[in-house]
Amino acid sequence: PFILLWVFGWCALRTVGFLFQAEQNADARVPPASLTKILSMYLVFDAVEDGRVSLRDNVKVSRRAALEGGSRMGLRPGDKLTLERLLYGMAVASGNDASCAVAEHVYGSQAAFVKKMNVIGKKLGMDDSTFKTPHGLPARGQYTTARDMLSLARNYIARFPKALRYHSARTVTIHNRTC
């Protein structure tokens, strides 16, 4: 079994033993897009593991989070959802609104969350990545590489294997709308 990552650059990793098999343009800087949400979810699971937050926490959605553009879960200002439900919104609907709500809940603000994303990214070996948003929408100076995303994927799966249930889900429903 192999893991393949990226379009502009890629790395093939043998999942047994996590050995590099091949690569092309693995260090080319590219916008991270929605793969950013993997690092955001990593931070959430880290905070859950440390006891700072719980998956059962009720998260109140701010106006700023609810109005975030791009792909959305369909949140409205003032909605209250569990942190776990928002994680499904991030993984299934690629919800930028859910990513913002989660960032604000876990670290108090999107800016504080993004700062922590960059610190954790470096600790995970993501030496050629800089994040500016919790969701991956285009932002000046935000970039990553296939090699760094592979490092994130390896660490994410190894440390939080139960997180794959969120990525395996096919739908999430909010306001009688299924994403």
Show which residues are catalytic.
34, 37, 94
d(CA 36, CA 117) in angstroms, rounded, equals 9
Residue 88 CA, chain-centre distance (Å), reads 11
String of DSSP letters for 27-56 = T--B--GGGHHHHHHHHHHHHHHTTSS-TT
Dihedral-angle region of residue 80 (phi above 0 means left; psi in -120 to 50 means alpha; beta otherwise): beta
Residues facing residue 5 across a β-bridge: 11
DSSP code of 173?
A: E
**Residues 6+ positions from 54 with CB-CB distance below 8 Å:** 48, 83
For the chain, helix (H) and strand (E) counts, in that order, are: 7, 7
Query: Structure tokens of 28?
Result: 């080319």
